[in-house]
């Protein structure tokens, strides 16, 4: 798994920035600890961290606000739209996203207020950061970008869908059900989505790479389209009209001279020996990558967004809290905004844990010592931002032909939590009288924050 993770880390070292002179090299190292496995982001967060630290450090070195340096280095038609691995960045709405987020979060007004607070406060210090995310969507292993589905329509009008994706609480089955309902023109209550089974849909790809809905949604749509076309042709032949004149919507089937319920149509089609079952298949187009040349088109498209985070840090203890977070995410034409917003909120908090509290401590014998809830701290409800504003970019649509032109929402929001780490570094920089770039290792526990603050103030070597 190391090869794929390092590849994705390298693919995301540019994040949202045009870096024409970049040379990116990845190394795989043997370690004396146990093997690890995949985690949300799969190398992408590690690559993005490099980009964001670099931009922060450059901004402080030249005496500018980090946001202005980020804006100056974004991919743009004027600067360039080609990644270090020679893929063209298309459908890139980052300028619009940041512009709207700066306004809605009142970034510049809060920057001034925070500066005034830090000059007068004796014990507490505040930090603010805006960080963007550009995350490539697709498995970098080309063969994994495929999916199948099996759809049955029963004579009572109910529909069963089985697909290759695994539901793990992310709302995949709900979205698949919505797709099937939309394609067959029935209510969502008529759809039953069953758990993935290889005796129904074989050779399934992992539910990973933020592609669960993209792949399985398209496969489900293909199966439903086949059944719908059969039903439309049956009605057209029976009632002397064309298939294009037959509409399936809201549980009804309508043609120029009449209408009936979907269940009645299905019963009639069954009696006429029309097949009411179909498989569907989908494979993502345009994907290829030559590792030897370091060039290609490994991603079908990019999901973008940005986050603004404000933190408040205790100068004496290093303890801190996340006061406010504002996120704007481009989900394209979202299939289910409520699910997408929930995924964004959860991913952000999970990312906070990764960057601030979840510390892996290994003994000299290679055993994991932080192996329980007492020694490995995951975020709790109390760790979430006191003010948490999440929105989807309005009037957006994926330029690629994804399912209903939606965009992925699984992994990209995890990296919005980089704004927490950047905001902590900003607070440390302010506490150190803006003298040097803070060196803050992750996870940024209060102890590490305190050490970084002492170092920034010249109190430690």
d(CA 197, CA 241): 40
Query: Which of 237, 358, 411, 459 is labelled catalytic?
Result: 411
Closest to 408 in 3D by CA, of 176, 211, 218: 211
Please report, for residues 73, 157, 309, 360, the alpha-carbon distance to residue 357 in angstroms, rounded to integers and kept in the order given.
31, 51, 17, 10
223 in Cβ contact with 149 (< 8 Å): yes
Angle in degrees, CA 342, 343, 346, rounded to 5: 85
Name, in order, each residue with C-beta under 8 angstroms of 222's C-beta and a sequence gap of 6 or more: 149, 280, 281, 282
Give yes or no: 411 in active site. Answer: yes
149 in Cβ contact with 216 (< 8 Å): yes
Q: Which long-range contacts (CB under 8 A, 24 or more apart) does 89-95 make?
A: 89/134, 89/302, 90/301, 90/399, 91/301, 91/302, 91/398, 91/399, 91/400, 92/134, 92/302, 92/304, 93/304, 93/330, 93/393, 93/396, 94/16, 94/132, 94/134, 94/304, 94/306, 95/71
d(CA 232, CA 151): 17
**What residues are labeled active site?**
411
């Amino acid at each position: 798994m190391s090869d794929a993770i390092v590849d994705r880390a390298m693919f995301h070292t540019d994040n949202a920035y045009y870096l024409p002179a970049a040379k990116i090299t990845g190394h795989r190292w043997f370690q004396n600890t146990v093997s690890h496995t995949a985690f949300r982001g799969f190398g992408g967060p590690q690559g993005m961290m490099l980009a964001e630290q670099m931009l922060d450090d450059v901004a402080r070195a030249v005496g500018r606000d980090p946001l202005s340096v980020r804006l100056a280095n974004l991919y743009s038609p004027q600067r360039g739209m080609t990644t270090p691995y020679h893929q063209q960045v298309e459908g890139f709405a980052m300028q619009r996203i940041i512009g709207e987020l700066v306004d809605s979060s009142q970034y510049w007004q809060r920057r001034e207020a925070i500066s005034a607070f830090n000059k007068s406060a004796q014990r507490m210090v505040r930090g603010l950061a805006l960080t963007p995310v550009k995350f490539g969507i697709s498995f970098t292993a080309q063969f994994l970008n495929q999916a199948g589905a099996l759809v049955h329509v029963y004579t009572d009008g109910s529909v069963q869908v089985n697909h290759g994706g695994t539901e793990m609480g992310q709302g995949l089955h709900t979205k698949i059900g919505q797709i099937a309902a939309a394609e067959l023109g029935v209510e969502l209550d008529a759809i039953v989505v069953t758990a993935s089974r290889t005796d129904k849909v074989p050779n399934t790809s992992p539910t990973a790479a933020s592609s669960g809905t993209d792949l399985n949604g398209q496969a489900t749509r293909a199966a439903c389209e086949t059944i719908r076309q059969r039903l439309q042709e049956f009605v057209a032949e029976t009632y002397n009209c064309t298939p294009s004149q037959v509409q399936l919507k809201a549980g009804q089937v309508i043609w120029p001279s009449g209408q009936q319920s979907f269940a009645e149509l299905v019963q009639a089609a069954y009696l006429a020996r029309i097949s009411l079952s179909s498989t569907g298949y989908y494979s993502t187009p345009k994907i290829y990558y030559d590792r030897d040349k370091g060039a290609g088109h490994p991603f079908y498209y990019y999901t973008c967004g940005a986050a603004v985070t404000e933190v408040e840090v205790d100068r004496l203890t290093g303890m801190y809290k996340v006061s406010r977070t504002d996120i704007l995410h481009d989900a394209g034409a979202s299939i289910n905004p409520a699910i997408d917003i929930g995924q964004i909120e959860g991913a952000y908090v999970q990312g906070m844990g990764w960057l601030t509290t979840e510390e892996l401590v290994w003994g000299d014998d290679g055993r994991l010592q932080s192996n329980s809830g007492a020694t490995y701290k995951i975020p709790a409800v109390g760790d979430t931002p006191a003010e948490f504003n999440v929105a989807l970019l309005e009037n957006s649509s994926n330029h690629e032909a994804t399912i209903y032109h939606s965009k992925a929402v699984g992994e990209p929001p995890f990296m919005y939590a980089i704004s927490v780490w950047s905001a902590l570094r900003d607070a440390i920089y302010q506490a150190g009288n803006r003298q040097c770039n803070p060196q803050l290792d992750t996870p940024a526990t209060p102890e590490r924050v305190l050490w970084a603050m002492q170092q920034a103030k010249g109190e430690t070597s």
